Amino acid sequence: MVKLLITRYLKRRHLLAQSALKQRYLVIDLELTGLDPKQHEIVSVAWVLIENQCIKNSQSQHIVNKEVKSLEQSPVFHGISTDSVAQGQSLQSILMSLSAHFSDCILVFHNAMLDWGFLKLALKNAGIIQRPKLIIDTLQIEKKRLLQHASDIKLDDLTLNECRNRYDLPSYHCHHALTDAQATAELLLAQCHQIGAGKELKVGDLM
H or E segment to which residue 165 belongs:
helix 160-165
**Which one, of 79, 119, 76, 83, lies nearest residue 99 by Cα?**
119
Q: What was the pLDDT predicted at 106?
A: 97
Distance CA 143, CA 192 (A): 14
pLDDT band for position 80 (50/70/90)? Answer: low
Residue 143 has pLDDT above 50, yes or no: yes
**What is the average per-residue pLDDT within 46-53?**
95
Residue 56 has pLDDT above 80, yes or no: yes
**Which one, of 77, 74, 102, lies nearest residue 88 by Cα?**
74
**Which one, of 170, 155, 153, 164, lies nearest residue 190 by Cα?**
164
Q: Could you say which DSSP state residue 19 is in?
A: B
Which residues have CB under 8 Å from 79's CB, separation 6+? 174, 176
pLDDT in tens, 81-124: 566 676 789 999 999 999 999 999 999 999 999 999 999 999 99
Average pLDDT value over all residues in the chain: 88
- Strand intervals (E) in 21-176: 24-32, 42-51, 54-64, 106-109, 135-137
* Residue 102, SS3 per DSSP: coil
Angle CA(187)–CA(176)–CA(62) in degrees, nearest 5? 95
Q: Is the pTM of this model over 0.75?
A: yes
